[in-house]
Amino acid sequence: GQQLNQSPQSMFIQEGEDVSMNCTSSSIFNTWLWYKQDPGEGPVLLIALYKAGELTSNGRLTAQFGITRKDSFLNISASIPSDVGIYFCAGFLGDKIIFGKGTRLHILP
């Protein structure tokens, strides 16, 4: 079946640093989604991308939908402690969402 490959699996950064993570697929997706999940909670949608090449921002977050429609990246600028969590890329397969395995972000004190 279709799989989304996220990298890196985990990141350790200093507060204030910028973060970049990406997601690739062997298949084309028409929509890319980025979710964040805090411990013990459900995923929360951060950014949705609907067109190849689209670059969308949400505060300190920026995501791009790759031209080939097989990849996407998420950047976080000037990280703060509440950015800690797991970031999932996802895409629609029919009416259901397929998720990657996530990138776990740690912020060092």
Partner 1 sequence: DTGVSQNPRHKITKRGQNVTFRCDPISEHNRLYWYRQTLGQGPEFLTYFQNEAQLEKSRLLSDRFSAERPKGSFSTLEIQRTEQGDSAMYLCASSFSGGATDTQYFGPGTRLTVL
The reply on whether position 90 binds partner 1 by CB under 8 A is: yes
Considering the rule CB under 8 A, would residue 39 count as an interface residue with partner 1? Answer: no
Stretch that binds partner 1, among 14-22, 62-70, 74-82, 89-97 (CB under 8 A): 89-97
54: helix, strand or coil: coil
Q: How many residues bind partner 1 (CB under 8 A)?
A: 22
The CA distance from 82 to 12, in Å, is: 14
Among 11, 98, 105, 107, binds partner 1 (CB under 8 A): 98
Q: Does 99 bind partner 1 (CB under 8 A)?
A: yes
Per-residue CA distances from 78 to 16, 60, 68, 86, 98 (Å): 4, 7, 29, 17, 29
| Burial grade of 84 (CB within 10 A; 0-12, 13-18, 19 or more) | middle
| Residue number with CB closer to partner 1 (9 or 68) | 9
Contacting positions for partner 1 (CB under 8 A): 4, 35, 40-45, 48, 50, 88, 90, 92, 94-102
